[in-house]
Amino acid sequence: MTTHNLIDFDADTKSFHLHNANISYIFSIDEHGVIGHDYYGRRLNQYHGQLRNPQRDRGFSGNFPGTTDRTYSLDFFLQEYGSNGNGDYRNVASVIRQADGSRTANFVYQDYEIVAGKPGLEGLPAAYVENENEAETLQVHLVDRVSQLTLTSNYTIYRDFDIIARSVVLTNASQKTVNIEKFASMQLDLPAQGGKQVLSFPGGHVNERNLQRENIGHGTKVFESRRGTTSHQMNNFIVIVDQQTTEFSGEAIGVSLVYSGSHKEEVSKDQFGSYRILSGINDDQFDWQLDPKEHFQTPEVLLTYSANGLNEMSDHLNGLLRTRVARGQFRDEVRPIVINNWEATFWNFDEAKLTPIIDEAKALGIEMFVLDDGWFGHRDSDNSSLGDWNIYEEKFPNGFQHFTDYVHNQGMQFGMWFEPEMISIDSDLYRAHPEYMLKVPNRQPSPSRDQFVLDVGRQEVRDNVYEQMAKILDGGKVDYVKWGMNRNLTDIYAVDLPAERQGEVMHRYVLGLYALLEKLTTNYPDVLWEGCSGGGGRIDTGFLYYMPQSWISDNTDAVDRMRIQYNSSMAYPVSSMTSHVSVSPNQQTGRMTPMETRGAVAMSGVLGYELDLTELTESEKLVVKEQVNKYKEVRELIQFGHFVRLINPEMGLGNRYAWMFVDDTADEALVFSFKILSDAQPEFSTLKLAGLDTNKTYQNIETKAEYGGDELMRAGLYEMFEQADFTTNVYHFKAL
């Protein structure tokens, strides 16, 4: 046996065993060189090969090419990565159109290599290591001997995170061009074992990431975006669970695609009860020409396994995302409390209208002013000026530096909104370079929000965007950039590509975007970057690699945000989710909620305010000041502690949400509990906490009452809510 710290190869069973203290992932090479999946779950001390490729003669399941063994078929074999045309009739991970027009490939084992650490992915975001001892990477090389294509499956297992990162590279070692029509990042085949379910996160604009839990029946469920982005409509994160899995018990496998474009997750159950999960780039409008000596790298998938429910799964994944996907100096720094002027002024502002808001923000202890849409070109509505990133001088008659100096002289930081991927017809950029826009020749392009999309897959377009933004950022006055994208991709055509390569446009767009983000974030490391696509239209782990936080929804209604933030935490760390207090009645829903509840929900992320501070009453200002001061006291715990979901009405737990934050030592906990609608005769319900130390005594720092950790977790607290709708209880405990 070849033994490494985290990866072993057993020559007798021809099996690879990836393991850390908690998990094992095992696959093996069979007699035909096919790589079969054996096991993924709790740590096994040793594996003796008993799960290798069970065989049986099954009708209408064809046999391996060149053999007469009727008991062996790829049609029911659990594989690590399947291809089209060789007898596997299930959804396959790859479809490659060969030079002769056929769509068959048969990849068999060639050799392997184990390397310390984790290599980066060319042109793509990915999880990383800070030293080589953190992880090991297995590279398994397969070959299709007829076409001379080489497929490399990459597996990285982390030592201290229960995470396995997977990606695939296809190399064309032949003298002929092939076309990739489908190439998933990961295939995971699981044996028939009871009734599995899948959790997905569909939605829409201002209605992101609803929790959908479904049985996996025979056939295929597809969760996808074909919009060029991750999309509001379907996030690229799913969870495979048992029917009995809860927040605190049962098995859960999280599947997170590190990608910001069109994606596709396929979950199927075959005729024999086995499951197959695929995740990767959406094959819709995808056709990649791979010339001789070229290679194609898929995005990465992060797999996480928990034997103890959804909270543990999220904690494993989000720990990695926060510290080994997010990068830069702000990764580990507490984030500032901002005031954004969008819902206060929309486009209707000038310096004289903004300065009173800044003055109020300073008095309330807010730390950053963010200037949103409308500061550039001649932008007074959404139908002009995108692409012209120069100051709208009429709004800043004393000069833009005078305004930014005013903000900084109040002891506050200054941020700005950009929408760099977009262009307006009414813009100097369009008049000079109409060819920069995504547009199909001889067809009218499709507007959305009166705007169109720049083809950032092209170097000259990226250079133009970069140079315009650099002129603003080089002044050294900008501390924060909010990166907007307020429409999806249409009119998929690139003028710099020949007809046979037009199927590459959408992925090239994403690669170009990543190249632009890499250059900007590298050259401006002192800027805090925040993603935004109509709120949650591009919330994914790929964007987290460049921007440590994102505006997770344009919906600022506190009650809707409870659901959005609760469900988002399944896949993303709290430090990545910005959440703002807005006006009541809310501009999206018309709902009226107390300032205390709006603040408690927003404090459960990266806190900000999105309203006209000059219109607050004196009593509301006192509440805001208390919120700001409290958040400064606890924000390190909130942004970097362990987030625990306690109660969710979507899981049949009634009329309430509750969650909590716990530090690494279980010495401090902050609990938020919400009741949505009031009852005339409310129940005496209890709230049970989690993640505390049963041997410690905790004190409620407001009431001074003392409790054992075991009491708080096992017996709980009776909760009394104010007799009103949309009420909140907050508990802050510290160990004595």
Q: Which residue has the tokens 């429409």?
A: 487
- CA pair distance 69, 77, nearest whole angstrom: 14
- CA pair distance 391, 134, nearest whole angstrom: 46
Retrieve residue 701's tokens: 């720092």
> Number of H helices and number of E strands within the chain?
12, 39
Over the Cα atoms of the chain, what is R_g? 27
Q: Which residue has the tokens 């790829």?
A: 74
Minimal CA–CA distance to 669: which of 642, 708, 687?
642
- CA pair distance 243, 666, nearest whole angstrom: 30
Retrieve residue 579's tokens: 């959440």
Question: Does residue 727 sit in helix, strand or coil?
Answer: strand
Q: b/e string for 538-572 if b means 16 or more Cβ within 10 A?
A: bbbbbbbbbbbbbbbbbbbbbbbbbbbbbbbbbbb
- CA pair distance 66, 384, nearest whole angstrom: 64
- CA pair distance 364, 367, nearest whole angstrom: 9
Question: Does residue 452 sit in helix, strand or coil?
Answer: strand
Retrieve residue 241's tokens: 């669970």
Q: Dmax over Cα atoms in the chain, in whole Å?
A: 85
| Per-residue H/E/C for 106-150 | CCEEEEEEEEECCCCECCECCCCCCCHHHEEEEEEEEEECCCCEE
Residue 95 has φ and ψ, to the nearest 5°, of -130, 115
The catalytic site residues sit at: 540, 620
Question: Does residue 733 sit in helix, strand or coil?
Answer: strand
Q: How many CB atoms lie within 10 A of CB 631?
A: 19
C-beta of residue 507 within 8 angstroms of C-beta of residue 286: yes
Q: Could you write out the DSSP letters of every residue in 382-443?
A: TTS-TT--SB-GGG-TT-HHHHHHHHHHTT-EEEEEE-TTEE-SSSHHHHH-GGGB---TTS
Residues in contact with 416: Cβ distance below 8 Å, sequence separation at least 6, in sequence order: 370, 371, 375, 472, 478, 480, 481, 482
Q: How many CB atoms lie within 10 A of CB 123?
A: 12
- CA pair distance 280, 186, nearest whole angstrom: 7
Q: Which residue has the tokens 């000259």?
A: 460
First vs last C-alpha separation in the chain: 50
- CA pair distance 667, 702, nearest whole angstrom: 16
- Residue 258's DSSP bridge partners are 300
Length of the chain: 736
- CA pair distance 88, 28, nearest whole angstrom: 18
Q: How many CB atoms lie within 10 A of CB 242?
A: 15
Q: Within its chain, how far is the Cα of 179 from the centroid? A: 29
